[in-house]
Amino acid sequence: MKILSIDACTENISIALIIKELVAEKSFPSGKDYSENILPQIKKLLSENDLKINDIDAVAFGAGPGSFTGIRITCGIAYGIAYANNLPIVGVNTLEALAWLSMHENSISCIDARMGQVYLGIYQKKNETIVPIIEPGLFNPSELPKLPDIKKAMVIGSGLISYKENLKLQYGGIDLEFFKDKCSLAGPIGMLSKSQFAKEFHLKNADPIYIRNKVAQTTKERLKQK
């Protein structure tokens, strides 16, 4: 199965091609016109691997949580390609993809949610499966969920940049490692999607994962945080 994978939910935009294993991946930073760059980059990626869009068997995408704009763009492009070519489609949780990327038995996946909060999930990797230990959610940095009895964990994602000290304070009894490289998630998303594909196209498989249901704060709410 040839899977085209797309992610723009985090600060590093990426696309990938999966044929049994990860074959190729491209990443580029988000910017003013990055949404207009994704489709040309997809065509280039396919061309470099002697493929066209009608050679693709399925589409996977980062469904969130993450940037609201990025989630909508990723979902829209993936949906458009899948619908136009009658392909199955699957959305993958970006926190799970971070856990897969960490290559660690226990992972604390965290994405900066802005507005003084963090998207966080705690996972265990078993073979090629990512199992949630703590279900993903939206948390205040001072009220992170308690961990079960584990001795070591890898912290990964943009949340560690803003909230590293909060993570150290909350999980000080655990041997924490911090993933220092930039996170390109299209590859992990494509790999995780392999076992999820339905036999036919279903719109419900293209549902985004926002977690937060409110994007902007009122002036009163912003002043209250100061």
Q: Answer yes or no: is pLDDT of 219 > 70.
A: no
Q: CA 54 to CA 58: how far, in whole Å? A: 10
Domains of the chain plus CATH, in order, are 2-94+183-206 (3.30.420.40), 95-178 (3.30.420.40)
Contact 185, 62 (CB under 8 A): yes
pLDDT bin (cut points 50, 70, 90) of residue 31 is low
Which pLDDT value is given to residue 220? 38
pLDDT digits (tens, 9 = 90+) for 42-71: 999 999 999 999 999 999 999 999 999 999
Per residue in 65-108, pLDDT (tens digit) is 999 999 999 999 999 999 999 999 999 999 999 999 998 999 99
Q: What is the pLDDT of residues 186-213, one digit of tens each?
A: 999 999 998 887 445 555 556 788 876 5
Report the sign of the C-alpha dihedral through residues 158, 207, 136, 143, in that order: positive
Give the integer Cα–Cα distance in Å for 29 and 154.
24
- What pLDDT, in 10s, does the model give residues 159-178? 999 999 999 999 988 999 99
| pLDDT at 33 (0 to 100) | 73
- H or E element that contains 45: helix 34-48
The residue count of the chain comes to: 226
Main-chain phi, psi angles of 169, to 5 degrees: -65, -45
The SS3 call for residue 221 is: helix
